Amino acid sequence: MGRVSTRLLTAAAQAPSGHNAQPWKFVAEGQRVRILPDLSRRLPAVDPDDHALFISLGCALENLVVAARGEGYNAEVDDTSLVGENSEIRVHLQPSETEDRHEDRLYAAIPERQSTRRTYDGRPIPSADLRRLDDASRRDGTGFHLFTDPGRIEPLIELVEEGNRRQFSDPAFVEELVAWIRFNPREVEGRKDGLTHAVMGLPSIPRWLGRFVMRKLVTPGSQARSAARAIRSSAALMLFTTDRAHPRGWVDLGRSFERVALTATTLDIRQAHMNMPCEVPTLREELRWHLGLGDAHPLLLLRIGYAKPMPRSPRRPLEEVLVKGSP
Ligand SMILES: Cc1cc2nc3c(=O)[nH]c(=O)nc-3n(C[C@H](O)[C@H](O)[C@H](O)COP(=O)(O)O)c2cc1C
């Protein structure tokens, strides 16, 4: 594979991940690629059961599959080894003759996709485009819900605000978040991971000042209010659920989310996570009850709409995510 494998793994590593922790490792062996969780990059405060970690692996997998098709390969996914410490996803690549323009557009969208955390312009999304997002979300065992009506969005905003208040009142959550913020270009260059000051719309400051601001000036109330404003500037909310609260279900949800995110990118639709009520277990239950989701687990909530892009988020170089022995 050589150069092709480099392109496929670069695409996989451009996937989104919680706090941009990039919790993945890759092994490339001939026509086979393996994706492994990097458990040293867990987020125990915000993601104690690792569901966000496996969703992130699902995003990387979807990028890899889309990139493989774009490079002329069929990707056969074996996710039967997603159990316990030695979890891995195996992808077998077979040369393919089929051309698919739609897949090519998704492939081109991989480096363009981003989490856009700024205020949106309030324009509604045409219903034909919402249908395309809905089509892109389809995957067995996962659910997708769109909310465009302010009457349905307002109760969800209350849950987001409450989630924000609870998370920012929890010192372990704030400590973990601060540890993943890169407050100035020197920190960004040194680590090439985490949430940079630029993607969060913040000025470059020394770490001591960043810690002070995050601990003393960013209050649970101020965070809740700015999340509510951000949602009200957006066109819609979208929610992803899974029927299965285990790694295979989480990986599938990640694949569904990434396909929607790439499709949205091709339509100039921006997205940003508003996961707070999915991350606090009691609020997740409330969300499930409020929406009548039955046994489905609501795990990702995002706002979508139109806005200018933000600066890009960094990624670690491939050498750092390739397990030894790979080309
Ligand atoms: C499972 C998952 C959970 C995430 N949770 C949040 C979140 O709660 N808040 C947020 O602002 N971004 C969240 N993100 C977005 C990541 O921070 C983002 O993907 C990462 O910083 C890389 O940036 P990019 O998406 O622009 O490439 C999440 C992403 C994933 C995949």
- Number of domain units in the chain: 2
- Which CATH number belongs to the domain containing residue 21 in this structure? 3.40.109.10
| pTM (predicted TM-score) | 0.97
Residue nearest to atom 1 of ligand 1 (CA): 52
Q: Which of 10, 14, 20, 193 to mutate to test the pocket of ligand 1 (most atoms within 8 A of CB)?
A: 20
Please check whether residues 165 and 101 belong to one and the same domain. no
327 lies in some domain: no
Q: Whose CA is closest to 300, among 281, 282, 273?
A: 273
115 lines ligand 1 (CB under 6 A): yes
Q: 120 and 305 in contact (C-beta within 8 Å)?
A: yes
pLDDT of residue 262: 98
Is residue 253 situated within a structural domain?
Answer: yes
In a domain, 206, yes or no: yes
**Is 269:125 a contact under the CB 8 Å cutoff?**
yes
CA-to-CA distance for 86 and 82, rounded, in angstroms? 8
Residues 170 and 294 in one domain: yes
**Tens digit of pLDDT for each residue in 267-293?**
999 999 999 999 999 999 999 999 999
Q: Which pLDDT tens digit goes with each residue over 86-120? A: 899 999 999 998 888 888 899 999 999 999 999 99
| Alpha-carbon radius of gyration of the chain | 19
Note whether residue 121 is domain-resident: no
**Looking at the domain assignment, is residue 187 inside a domain?**
yes
The residue range of the domain holding 261 is 127-305
pLDDT, position 325: 57
Cα distances from 53 to residues 49, 136, 171, 200, in angstroms, run: 9, 22, 21, 21
